[in-house]
Structure 1
Amino acid sequence: MEEKTAVVFPGMGPSSFSAVGKFMVLDRYARRRISAADKALGYSLLDRFHGAEDDYSEYTQVAFLVNSLALADRAEDLLGMRPDYCVGPSFGQKAAAAWTGALDFADTVRMTAELARCEQEFFASEHQDVVTHSCVRVPAEPFQEYLDGLTANGDWYDISGRLDEGFLMVSVREHLLDGLKKAVGAMGGYSMYTMRPPVHAEAFGGLRRKADEEVLSRYEIRDPKLTVVADQDGSVVRTADAMRTMLLDTFDKAINWPEVVDSLLGLGVRKLYITGPDNLFRRVKCTTRNFDVVAVDPKSVLRSTLRPAKS
């Protein structure tokens, strides 16, 4: 089988102006995307992003989208990226929708801002005590026993993401967080970060319906021009209906990155371009042991751009 290539738009982690602002100001691909985003939004994205204090504010989310697509533009133009498939785990779905032509860029920008406000409104009154916690190196059976114990005690949890062997995202009520961290440590695991608001849990069906009725219903989603692999189960997405379902699934279905990896391998993909501010998907073992990974991120771009010329 001929070896194939995929572009991966990563899920969103904390990405402050102090971390990516210089890239956005200096990079010509970013500046071009920002100009188009400003027209779509009716305000200066850089100005709003500079003043944002929330890691997941409307402006931070749009900036992450813009940067991811600008980095893909750069990879296509300067690195010869010609992907056969596209993946957008979690927040990366939005960039995937724009890159594959399922949505126009301007519509994707507006949709991203509107979905950010939609989520903020939802979690202001619903599931206010829920967080999503990420942990690594947790042994499968002992950790499942701990989770079963929560259920036995009448508590609630949900697996919001499987990112690698022993690498999970778990949603719990906040009063259980300290106990979860202690259990992870006692098993030899390591607690990473906690997300507020939480993500990807079956309990958030109300958010899915709200996002569908108030935001997605107003946008025309087309068949993607490039085949997409869904981040929830690795299924292949080729139609507008499947694309719309995937975008809605992100609210109440978990990420399963190992299944995406298996699907890509089955499709003959051996090289990944990961375009976006990412310290996760390019590093997990199931990615690095299976693919030739080309990471295109703001830091590497700035290093190459600002490196002094050889005399």
Structure 2
Amino acid sequence: MTATEQTAAGQPRTAIVFPGMGPSAFAEVGRFLVLDPFARRRLAEADEALGYSVFDRLRESQDDYSEATQIAFLVNSMAAADRAVEELGITPDICVGPSFGQKAATAFVGSLPFPELVRLTAEMARCELAYFAEEYQDAVTHTFFRTPQDRLAGILAEFDERGEWYDYSGHLDEGFCMVSLREKELAELKRRVSAIGGYSMYTMVPAVHAPAFKELRRRVEEDVLPKYALADPRLPVVTDQDGTIVRTADELRTMLLDTFDLPIHWPKVVDTLKADGVTKLCITGPDNLFHRLDRTKSNFEVVRVGPAKRGRPPRRR
């Protein structure tokens, strides 16, 4: 039976979505780690895998994207997925992990056991830290929305004229973009975006998903990933770069590497999910972005499970 036939027969398909990282307060993240039973279970696994207390390092961290912060986000995302499956009875048919969410997706679909995925995440974080200490030290990624594409193109054309570096790092929705650039150019970009009616959201340091970062990709490919044996995913996974459906370990490995030097393209993900007959998204983890996108809300029923908002258990008749 095709996806379309399943939907027509009253069997709509569900995608589980592990969101990308955004800035978060320790109070919110730490409270979930301590109080949620699913998070406590995953946190214990992470502590054992790394040989240190993730919570203690998170409490001491001043960096929104430190190793401990990344591990805590991973723990909370997996805990939310555990709740969705075990408590809410959600059975996904396909999986998506935009940006950092790829890591939780890799564990959820069984391509890497969670303890190994924790170690891989930590090693990737250390590799990124070393890379940005040496290269693109002043690179940031800025996210903004309600920005007319033609007028944004005019602003960026001026970068080209001056020989100033920038890269698109994400296409999230109509007029909703991520651009990587030198930090010294950020204030002027924000001013120009505001002048054309756009709104700035947040800035990520270090930068992400930029074609300029091919050397970072190479380092992870040669020095980190060979230590880990990926398995074929139990569920199909949709890449966040172009909406391709991943079904093998080699394809998933490529997806994990593509995140370093290819931009996110959420509209292509949405197109793939719709073509596959998906009508519901279960977003598991701390999400301040993807559930809010117009393209998400207009195409799917959205269920959120995580620190910000728990999904409600199904009513019993």
Question: 1:268-300: CA deviations, max 9, x gaps?
Answer: 001000000011001110000100000112132
Residue 238 of structure 1 aligns with an amino acid whose one-letter code is R
Instruction: State which of 179, 187, 206 in structure 1 corresponds to 2:196.
Output: 187
Query: What is the CA deviation profile of residues 108-140 of structure 1, one whole-angstrom value per residue up to 9, with x for unaligned ones?
Result: 000011111110000001001211111110001
Partner of 1:127: 136
The number of aligned residues is: 304
Name the residue aligned to 2:272.
263
Gaps spanning 5+ residues in structure 1: where?
Answer: 306-311
* 1:296 and 2:281 matched: no
Q: Does 1:279 align with 2:288?
A: yes
Offset, 1:304 = 7.8
Contact in 1 for aligned 2:236/2:247 (Cα 8 Å) = yes
- Residues 10 and 278 in structure 1, CA contact (< 8 A), matched pair in contact too: yes
1:16–1:60 contact (8 Å) kept in structure 2: no
1:15, CA displacement in angstroms?
A: 2.5
Output the TM-score relative to the length of structure 2: 0.94
Of 120, 123, 144 in structure 2, the residue corresponding to residue 114 of structure 1 is 123
1:129–1:174 Cα contact (<8 Å) kept: yes
Distance 1:39 1:31 in 2: 12
Matches within 5 A, 1:42-81: 42-81=51-90
Question: RMSD over aligned Cα, in angstroms?
Answer: 1.3
Identity over the aligned pairs, expressed in percent?
Answer: 59
Alignment map for 1:3-42 (pairs within 5 Å) = 3-42=12-51
- The code of the aligned residue for 1:217 comes to P
Q: How far, CA to CA, are the matches of 1:299 and 1:227 in structure 2?
A: 27
What is the alpha-carbon distance in structure 2 between the residues aligned to residue 32 and residue 182 of structure 1?
A: 45
Q: What is residue 309 of structure 1 aligned with on the other side? A: none
Paired residue for 2:208?
A: 199
Runs of 4 or more above 2 Å deviation: none
2:58 alignment partner AA: F
Residue in structure 2 matched with residue 235 of structure 1 by the alignment: 244
- Paired with 1:163 and 1:242, the residues of 2 have a C-alpha distance of 23
For 1:162, the equivalent position in structure 2 comes to 171
Tell me, what secondary structure is at the counterpart of 1:48?
A: helix
- The gaps in structure 2 that reach 5 residues or longer are none
Q: Within 2, Cα distance between the matches of 1:166 and 1:274?
A: 23
